[in-house]
Amino acid sequence: MGAVSIFTQAWSIAKGIRHWQTMVFTVLCLSQIGNVLALRSERESIFSLGFLSNRPLIGAALLTVALLMATIYVPFLNPIFKTQPLSLLEPLIALALSSVVFIAVEIEKTVKRSKGRT
């Protein structure tokens, strides 16, 4: 997560995105959500467990995303959290970058399962 966040910061600054802090904050929050979803089991993939098998966790993740979007897009919250609204494309970029954490955890679990079979 740290590496993805630092990459996001460097990339955003290089691209001239003035609100790079909001991009990093978004990537970090989405990475945490992906991480908690992926780590529901140490060995079983979320795809075999089923995304909806833990409804309270899904509710918490959706609430977290809603609160994240509020801190970014609700004008009176911007000065409190020192955020700025993102463009239409930037949250999608943040989601793509943060999915690296989810994918890495799922790959790690696949490796663990394959080592356990041999």
> For the chain, which residues make up each domain, given as ranges?
2-117
Residue type, 53: S
| pLDDT (tens digit per residue) in 6-39 | 999 999 999 999 999 999 999 999 999 999 999 8
pLDDT of the residue at 48:
81
Distances from the Cα of 60 to the Cαs of 26, 36, 45, 67, 73, in angstroms?
A: 16, 10, 20, 10, 20
Per-residue confidence (pLDDT) for residue 40, from 0 to 100? 86
pTM: predicted TM-score of the whole model, two decimal places:
0.89
pLDDT of residue 78: 96
Output the CA–CA distances (angstroms, integers) from residue 89 to 2, 24, 46, 85, 96, in the order listed: 22, 15, 27, 11, 11
